[in-house]
Amino acid sequence: MRVRARPTRRVARPFATALVAAALATLCLAPAAAPAHAPAAAADSVRDRQYWLDDYGIREAWQVTRGEGVVIAILDSGVDAGHPDLVGAVIGGHDVSGRGSSSGTQPLGPQGITHATMVASLAAGRGSGPTSGLIGAAPAASILSISLAFGPNERDGDDQVAEGIIWAVDNGADIISLSLTRNQIDWPESWDEAFLHAEENDVVVIAAAGNRGNGTEQVSAPATIPGVLTVGGVTRSGQASDNASSQGITIGVMAPSENLVGAVPGGGHASWQGTSGATPIVAGIAALVRAAHPELDAAGVINRIISTARPATSTVPDPTYGYGLVDAAAAVSAEVSAVDENPLGSIAEWITLHRRADGPDVVSTLPAARFALGREPASTAIGMLGSSLAALGPGIPALVIIGSTLGALATLAAGGVLRFVTRTRSE
């Protein structure tokens, strides 16, 4: 077993429960995909339906590693750890909904009761036998199940997600898989704290782009957060899915989101679709990369995945396909240049740029008032511009230098903002 070296965990951050805006009280998070169930698939046909294992290089990557020693946190509706395909996969968990089991393995409903088990099976399912049952992209990786419950009568969804991420980081997660969406591009400040905690502790965060079929027309948070690897969905033929994906410039890679099959609580299987399924497939591939390259930090893992993706168009990154279709074999084995920072951005830098207005006021002593350049006080008769400038004398060069400096700083600031808006590799 190859165990990835990682930095020592920081002390757990205290979780802030205060709402940052009154409007959040009315918000409700929802799973990124409402599974489109078909009649339960026969157990002996399940493995044959997993076309992505070959089409996306996953079986080939298994010749190098199956994800040993890597921990994937599934923040969702609660994974059924007793499912035959998941026996031995779930090593721990936690409930943040306030009504699940303390282990996080009680599927919560009524909406989404099957969701987490399907997600977990695509990430790290073991199968029920050598050739039967559902097997995940990283069948030797381990799972932490953090149970959530979204709805009008549930605990605030934003708080659940923030608390769940912090718990996952503090309890050994190497990868966090988020098959959920806020259905708006922005996010609360409690998420700043949570995603920063993941970034500071070398955890890869992967999020679903959402689905048009469920009302998510454009990519929404958490898939808009800098540093997060966002997953869009494609059809069996590799075309962007009309219903089981959405569009946005933050998409990192694409993965299959149609004609999927997943494990459901109680031991069965069901057909489904959506980026909720594409995301754990990529999370499993990330686990393969972490196991094969224990020397890489989270930025290096993400860089390998997007750098080795198969471009779908001549534009890379593309607003629909991102860097292309994920390729597990290439992500594990290809030669890829090292990077010093996450090519998809940094939540720490974003906070510095965009939350400064909420910081403490800066008080400084201003110089004595003086005439504006080219003008005289209102009480003085208007004179020629040349005479007003002459009155300023030696002060003009200093003012010109100050003005030029402020202009340059404004340009740099604008460039920094644009970098986070586009989230492309400009360096």
Structure tokens at 271: 């057909």
Query: How confident is residue 246, by pLDDT bands cut at 50, 70 and 90?
Result: low
pLDDT digits (tens, 9 = 90+) for 115-172: 999 999 999 999 999 999 999 999 999 999 999 999 989 999 999 999 999 999 999 9
Mean pLDDT of the chain: 79
pLDDT at 357: 57
User: Which of 147, 152, 161, 141 has its CA nearest to residue 71?
Assistant: 141
pLDDT at 112: 84
Give the range among 77-81, 242-246, 310-314 with minimum mean pLDDT: 242-246
Considering only residues 54 and 27, tell me which one the structure prediction assigns the higher pLDDT. Answer: 54
Burial grade of 211 (CB within 10 A; 0-12, 13-18, 19 or more): buried
User: Which listed residue (115, 197, 269, 293) is catalytic?
Assistant: 115
**Segments forming the whole domain that contains residue 368:** 364-422
Residue 183 has pLDDT above 60, yes or no: yes
Calculate mean pLDDT across residues 166-185.
Answer: 95
**CATH code for the domain in which residue 336 is found:** 3.40.50.200
Q: Please, which residues bridge with residue 30 across strands?
A: 181
Q: What span, in angstroms and rounded, lies between the C-alpha atoms of 281 and 177?
A: 10
CA torsion angle for 96, 98, 99, 101 (degrees, to 10)?
Answer: 50
Considering only residues 182 and 43, tell me which one the structure prediction assigns the higher pLDDT. Answer: 182
Domain membership flag for residue 279: yes
Active-site residue 54, yes or no? Answer: no
User: Which listed residue (142, 145, 246, 276) is catalytic?
Assistant: 276
Diameter of the chain measured on Cα atoms: 95
Residue 379 has pLDDT above 80, yes or no: no
Domain membership flag for residue 1: no
Looking at residue 39, the DSSP 8-state letter turns out to be S
Residues 373 and 348 in one domain: no
Residue 42 has pLDDT above 80, yes or no: no
Active-site residue 37, yes or no? Answer: no
Active-site residue 192, yes or no? Answer: no
Domain boundary among 305, 321, 354: 354
Query: How confident is residue 377, by pLDDT bands cut at 50, 70 and 90?
Result: very low
Domain membership flag for residue 7: no
Calculate mean pLDDT across residues 186-212.
Answer: 93
